[in-house]
Amino acid sequence: MSAQKSAGIQLLLDAEREATKIVQKAREYRTKRVREARDEAKKEIEAYKAQKEAEFKKFEAEHTQGNQAAQEEANREAEERIREIKEAGNKNREQVIKDLLHAVFTPTPEAMAAH
């Protein structure tokens, strides 16, 4: 009877040991999942950041280019208007000078209201 008893107890002890192993494996799985959450999150975050950075760089590049184009356009416009001014000047300066001299040489003596 004693031998049977110990065999039985042994079976139970073995079963307990197996049970512990099973639960232990599950706990290790849990630990692993915690780490995986952080690692995967990190990867996704970095990918997102890289994407945003690429968008931003593209934006900057477009606008640098836009600025250059605007600068050239502004220069062209300025030169055109300066050219127009010089033309207008050449066309009209004689008359304007004449008018100025006329004003200098034409006094306008006006009697003031009687005091």
Give me the residues that bind other proteins (CB under 8 A), please.
Answer: 4, 8, 11-12, 14-16, 18-20, 22-23, 25-27, 29-30, 33-34, 36-38, 40-42, 44-45, 48-49, 52, 55-56, 59-60, 63, 66-67, 70-71, 74-75, 77-78, 81-82, 85-86, 88-89, 92-93, 95-97, 99-101, 103-112, 114-115
- CB burial of 16-36 (b: ≥16 within 10 Å; e: otherwise) equals eeeeeeeeeeeeeeeeeeeee
CB of residue 67 to other proteins, shortest distance in Å: 6
- Give the nearer residue to other proteins in terms of CB position, either 2 or 95: 95
Cβ count near 111 (within 10 Å): 5
Q: Dihedral, CA atoms, 29, 35, 41, 42, nearest 10 degrees?
A: -150
CB of residue 2 to other proteins, shortest distance in Å: 13
Tokens of residue 42, six digits: 């990190």
